[in-house]
Structure 1
Amino acid sequence: MAEQVLIIGAGSGIGRGLVEYYLQQGHPVQAMSRSNCPEALTKTAVQWRQLDANAGDDEEGPELAINKLVAEAIIAQPTIIFICQGWLHDNKHGPEKTLRQLSPSQLQKSFAINVLQPALYLKALFGYLTKQPQVKVLVLSAKVGSITDNQLGGWYSYRLSKAAVNMLVKTSSIELQRYNKTAALVSLHPGTTDTPLSAPFQANVPSGQLQTGAATAQRLARVAANLSPEQSGKLLNWDGTVLPF
C-alpha cells in the first residue's frame, strides 16, 4: 500500500511540485495551503485543505485554524510530511545587501512565514508524531541559513529566519526522539528551483543548477524515501548529504 503523504504549504512552487509528483506515483495526498486548489488539480485525487488566512480576531486565531486542519489531516495517518513555507522578497522588500537596509517590517515578515508558521504546524503535529511509527517530516529550509557555510554575508532577514528554522527542527527532533525512536525530522535545502521566490536571482545561478519544480520534487521525494531516524535533526541537502549548521 502506498504511503500517505501530507504537503503543508502546497501552494508554493515546490509544494505543488511535490503534490503532483506523489499523485503521479499513486500515493494518497493531502495538501494544505492558504490558496485555493489549482484548477489543474481539482480533478485529481488530492484532498486539498485551505487555511483561512483571516481566521480569528486575536493572536490565537491562526493557531486554532492550523490545529483544526492538522486534526483532520492526521486521521489518514500520513507517514511522509513536508512543510514548505518560505518567503524571501516582495514588491516592497528585497534581500538586504547591507545591515543598513534591515527593516523591522521585513524581519518580522520573514520570521512570521519562515519560522512561526512551520513552528505552529510542528506544534500541532507533535502529539501525532510521538506515536506514528516510521513517520518522516521534512521542513524546507535553505543552505544560506547555515552559519558555518556563510562566506558572503547579506540577505539578513532570510539568513536569520532560515538559521532559526534549522534550530527549530534540531530542538524539536531531540524532544521527538525521546518519545518515538523511529521518527525522523529534518530541515532540507531544496536547491535553486524555478519559482517566484528565486526568479529575480536566476541570472546568477550557474548553468545546469536551476531546477524545475518537478525535478526538485523528485529529488526531495528521493530524500524522503531514504530518510532514517539516525538523520533526525540534521540539515540535509537536496541530494541527501548533510550540510553544516
Structure 2
Amino acid sequence: MSDALIVGGSGAIGSALIQHYGALGYGVTALSRKAAPPWAQGQGWLHWQSVDEQDSASLNAVLAQILAKTPDVVFLCQGWLHQDAMVPEKAISQLSDEHFQQSLAVNLLSPARYLQALMPYLFRQPEVKVLVLSAKVGSITDNQLGGWYSYRASKAALNMLVKTASIELKRRNKTATIVTVHPGTTASELSAPFQARVPAAQLQSPDSTAKRLAQVAARLQPEQTGLLLNWDGQPLPF
C-alpha cells in the first residue's frame, strides 16, 4: 500500500486531498496546527498529527516517526490571503508590515520549514514526489494586473524557494521530483470574498481540485523538477 503525507490538512484543499487519497487506498498522514476535525476521526487509514512547526525539534521528531512509513507523495498545502481587515492590497499605499509578515509567515516560511525538515528523507527516498501549492499570481512574467502585493511577493518567493531546493535535491536524488503547483480557483475560505468575480465554470470544488492535483502528481517525472505547474500539469512561467 502506498502512503501520502499532506501538510496543511485542515484547509479545504488539504482536507479534500486526504479524502481523495484515502479513497484510493493510500495510508495517509495529515499534519496541521489544528486538531483533527470530526470527519477525520476513526478512519483507520488516516493518521492525523497536530504539530507546532515553529518548534524545529518537535517538527523533526514528528516527521522522523511519520517518515518511517515512507510516503511516496507529499503535498504542502499552506496558504493565506486575507483575514478580518487585512485584504489583498490594490495599491502599494495599502501595504502594511503586519499584512506582509503574515503572508510571508504562512505562504513562504511555513513550507520552507517543512522542506528543510523533509530534505534528508527526500535525498534517500526513490521516486518521491513533492507538490507545493503556490499560485499563478506568483508568476512575475504573468503579472499584468498588479495589486495583491504581499500575496504575489510571497508566492513568487515560494516558487524560487522550491526551484532552488530542486537543484540541491537533484544532485542527491535524481529520481525525486519537487514542483510548485497552481491549484486553480477553488471554493474555500481563502477564495470566498472573490468568488463572485470568477466564472462559474472556473470555480472548482475542493474535491475536483484534489482529483486534478492527484492526477498531476501521478504524471510527474523527474525532468519536471523545479517547475511551476498549472492545475492541468502544464508549465507556467516564473
Do both share a fold (TM > 0.5)?
A: yes
Q: Tell me by how many angstroms 1:52 deviates.
A: 3.5
Give the structure 2 partner of residue 232 of structure 1: 225
Deviations 1:170-191 (A, max 9, x none): 0000000000000000000000
Alignment of 1:66-81 (within 5 A): 66-81=59-74
Deviations 1:98-122 (A, max 9, x none): 0000000100010011000100000
Give the structure 2 partner of residue 48 of structure 1: 48
Identity rate of aligned residues, in percent? 55
Give the structure 2 partner of residue 148 of structure 1: 141
Equivalent pairs counted in the alignment come to 237
Deviations 1:5-28 (A, max 9, x none): 000011111000000000011111
- Counterpart of 1:176 (choices 148, 169, 179) is 169
Give SS of 2:169's match: helix
Q: Separation in 2 of the partners of 1:65 and 1:205? A: 41
Structure 1 outlier segments of 4+, above 3 Å: none
Give the structure 2 partner of residue 25 of structure 1: 24
Give SS of 2:165's match: helix
User: Which letter maps to 1:99?
Assistant: I
- Counterpart of 1:215 (choices 200, 208, 212) is 208
Give the structure 2 partner of residue 185 of structure 1: 178
RMSD: 0.9
Give the structure 1 partner of residue 154 of structure 2: 161
Give the structure 2 partner of residue 89 of structure 1: 82
Q: Tell me by how many angstroms 1:70 deviates.
A: 1.4
Return 5+ residue gaps in structure 2 as ranges: none
Q: Tell me by how many angstroms 1:68 deviates.
A: 2.0
Q: Separation in 2 of the partners of 1:97 and 1:64? A: 39
- Counterpart of 2:190 (choices 190, 197, 221) is 197
Q: Separation in 1 of the partners of 2:64 and 2:76? A: 16
Q: Tell me by how many angstroms 1:63 deviates.
A: 2.2
Give the structure 1 partner of residue 3 of structure 2: 4
Return 5+ residue gaps in structure 1 as ranges: 54-60
Give SS of 1:37's match: coil
Q: TM-score, normalised by structure 1?
A: 0.95
